[in-house]
Structure 1
């Protein structure tokens, strides 16, 4: 079974830029997010994929990814839920693993997240100095959540919620 085992962290500082590649532009959109699974379309450079992921089970989850024609991905993005996620992904080799540093753009501008895929859940590795708080279990930082509630709107109340009056 294809499992993804991944830990996610906020990035604190620019120290990672010294050794990272120049990055590639990723655009992705979600066709469905049921709570049990998500269905995602992604374009990266001239490649397009359709990905199904199960809900997280700790830091592990099922992941099925298939290449699709780029024009199919463009058409499917029009059927999305929420906004399109835009980010530049940089790769940084690290002790036999690879950090993926996502510098978000558009509605999620200002958010920088580092992810590292592991061969198994117990795999240890040293943390670089530019790593901030771990966010592996925080659903707000999932791309499926960011397309519905972008980082730029985190200071706003969700639709239907009232914000407390500071005068009261």
Structure 2
């Protein structure tokens, strides 16, 4: 078991591009997901060179925080506080991932870039399809209180905003949001 500790940010403009490493085309689907409790995801990643990678991932709130009921809801972190979850991730054959993706009722597509930045493991997702033109950067940390040098092109922190999680965007993509809500979010990135 690993503990995933991350912070997420809306990205403004194109100033992130000089920090970008090769991008992988990612398709991921959700076999089970919700605002609270476990999320079961299948991911297929196609890098520009090298073999296709496929994973089955289970994410849970940290032990002791419970899985259901309002009294056990995962707290929404304050700005500047990382979100921590238990994460179990297993490599699977790409043919299995393809078959599972076909069974997923909710999917999301994006191009993921590694970022050459200090202070954690940074990635940037450029969403495609119904979630375009959303761009989100995230950093995985070793500890929740680890300081982070946030690049100036990160427009706003969205850590803990459940409606902007990948699972939520798969269920209810940006294209289905009320126009005013969608424009308000995208205005933060221009």
Following superposition, the deviation at residue 96 of structure 1 comes to 4.3
1:121 aligned counterpart, secondary structure: coil
Following superposition, the deviation at residue 15 of structure 1 comes to 0.8
Q: Where is the strand percentage greater, Structure 1 or Structure 2?
A: 1
The structure 2 residue matched to 1:49, chosen from 52, 55, 65, is: 55
C-alpha RMSD of matched pairs (Å): 1.6
2:72 is the counterpart of 1:72:
no
2:129 is the counterpart of 1:128:
no
2:147 is the counterpart of 1:148:
no
Following superposition, the deviation at residue 71 of structure 1 comes to 0.6
Q: Where is the helix percentage greater, Structure 1 or Structure 2?
A: 2
In the other structure, the counterpart of 2:10 is: 10
Superposition TM-score, scaled by structure 2 size:
0.78
The runs of at least 4 aligned residues of structure 1 exceeding 2 Å deviation read 55-58
> Are the counterparts in 2 of residues 42 and 50 from structure 1 also a CA contact under 8 Å?
yes
**Number of equivalent positions:** 156
1:78 aligned counterpart, secondary structure: helix
Q: Can you give the 5+ residue segments of structure 2 that lack an aligned partner in the other structure?
A: 47-51, 62-73, 78-82, 181-190
Superposition TM-score, scaled by structure 1 size:
0.87
Q: Can you give the 5+ residue segments of structure 1 that lack an aligned partner in the other structure?
A: 158-168
The structure 1 residue matched to 2:84, chosen from 49, 56, 60, is: 60
2:10 aligned counterpart, secondary structure: strand
